[in-house]
Amino acid sequence: MIDLTAQIILAALASGVIIGIFLGAFGGGGSVLAAPLLIYLVGVQSPHIAIGTSAAAVAAIALVSLFGHWRGGHVKWPCASVFAGAGLIGSILGSSIAKSLSGDILLLGFAGAMAVIGLSMFRKPAHYGDPDVHLTPHIMIRLAPIGLAVGIAAGFFGIGGGFLIVPGLMLASGMTLSNATASSLVSVAIFGAATSANYALGGFVDYRLTVLLLIGGAAGGVIGILAARLFQHRVNLARRIFAMLIVAVAAYVGLNTLSFL
């Protein structure tokens, strides 16, 4: 385990704030950043510990942000529940596979998945979604398999999966970006909890860092929720910021991992 010096504590708190801001604002991005922040800013040496610890923190931070979006009436609970329920099975399966692989392979795969999703988000959506969408049998049939696939990816890469969940919810149900952002936090919390529990069984969770990330994330989540309200009527701008964030982090993680191979 890493020694908790004053510098490490401040870095972990700052990382939590960053994670909370993006989780609150976009329903994702924060979970994508969590493991890289622990490795490159905080100084965690083991990718497995970074992934397990970040998953635990992201799950808790997502719950804080979810409460704020719930109060705002933006969470589509029936759609979110079906997606999360299917994804829970996938997250357990994905994290079980990931624990048996080397850290470098995980980070390279992590970077590749981020790049693909980030680039896809630059495409302009055909429509901006239905704010009054309701769960129907047709939508349920679409939500379950997409949720399962996203859950596997979230568990495998040790992330909440918000950057996959948001477009997945929009694709399967036709809801708006604002509703998908809020509803995605249900899955982020559940996937993160399942993944971290699986990693904890192997001793890959640093609970001290989890607490520090959570403290910072609580403050960041409030800031993120306020930012989400500003972006509610600026869908294209929100998508571009989301996409640029994901691609930039993907490039950084990929290049750094390759340099050590």
The predicted structure's pLDDT at residue 140: 93
Q: State pTM to two decimals.
A: 0.76
Cα–Cα dist 114/136, whole Å: 31
Asked whether 27 and 68 are in contact (CB, 8 A), the reply is no
pLDDT tens-digit series, residues 192-228? 898 899 889 989 999 999 999 989 988 888 888 887 7
Residues of the chain with pLDDT under 50: none
CA distances from 104 to 54, 63, 100 (A): 17, 30, 12
pLDDT tens-digit series, residues 55-67? 888 888 888 788 8
The domain locations on the chain are 6-259
CA distances from 85 to 73, 133, 195 (A): 21, 19, 14
Number of Cβ within 10 Å of residue 145's Cβ equals 12
